[in-house]
Amino acid sequence: MSRVPAARAKAGPGDDRIFNGREATKGAYPFQVALLSSNALDDSPQSQFDAQFCGGSLIAPGWVLTAAHCLVEYGEAIPPEVVTALVGATALDEGRRHAVAEVIVHPGYSESTLDNDIGLLRLAEEADAPAIAMTDGDIEDGAVTVIGWGLMENGYFPTNLMEAEIELTANDACNAGIKEIYARDLGHILQAYAGRMRYSDEAVSNATTAIAATMRDPLTGNMICAGLADGARDACNGDSGGPLFAVRDGGPVQVGIVSWGEGPMDADAACGHANAYGVYTRLANYRDWIAGKTGN
């Protein structure tokens, strides 16, 4: 996972991306926020490109919703002065920068499991941009959209905001797909030592099956799953913190926050893999917590 204050220029090919997305129309998502590493900024708008490390969403004029893992380094919440919120940008060389007055990380956030992967930024000055509505309850299925500036499948970072349309998927399917990847990786690890340690292919198969049977589900009840079964479109941690939303009669309604993804250990990136999907923070579980912090 990307951590603050990692700059885009230092990320390796395939690290983080919206996979097989398309460019968003200018001004289509005014609630989208880019989190910038303040130390990487200068007076030029072009510096915003290299400084972007995560996404977020404007949920009220003075508040940005994002992922906790974007706001934690070495087990502690980052100081407000190291992050700048860019509001009103479709391309990263536009928009208005906002200083951050307060960083709030959910007290139950776990760096090991990414449970409760949610955080808030209180802006020093309110943003003049529309906020996105948040879901009042679970949306179990249907089409959703994810947006972000993460690395694309061609190995390049986009200047323009990208979008991808995907489907909400049952957590059971997501758990099964991820555990299948874990089991396959385990088998490859055991196979690599078979010659040196002189155990048989049958022993590898038996050990892999036995260990896989004890694996716990990687998703908790605070997570939702979305993607496509063939992995054709996906989001990864370069887009972390950004919104997953459904479109209803009243417009976009945020249902999740980009959190994490999984892929085989020999893959270039943990995204775009069949039956693995992407994992998002289940926003419906946190409306009371958000209201308690923001009044919204």
Contact of 162 with 146, CB cutoff 8 Å: no
Closest CA to 22 of 144, 165, 156: 165
**Cβ contacts of 165 within 8 Å, gap of 6 or more:** 143, 144, 145, 233
Query: Which one from 2, 38, 57, 240 is the annotated catalytic residue?
Result: 240
Q: Compute the distance between CA of residue 226 and CA of residue 146 in angstroms, rounded to an integer.
A: 10
Active site residue 205: no
Query: Which one from 15, 16, 115, 117 is the annotated catalytic residue?
Result: 117
The neighbour count for residue 267, using CB atoms within 10 Å, is 15
The neighbour count for residue 107, using CB atoms within 10 Å, is 8
Active site residue 44: no
Q: Compute the distance between CA of residue 87 and CA of residue 174 in angstroms, rounded to an integer.
A: 33
Q: Compute the distance between CA of residue 43 and CA of residue 34 in angstroms, rounded to an integer.
A: 17
Q: Compute the distance between CA of residue 85 and CA of residue 127 in angstroms, rounded to an integer.
A: 10
Catalytic residues: 117, 240
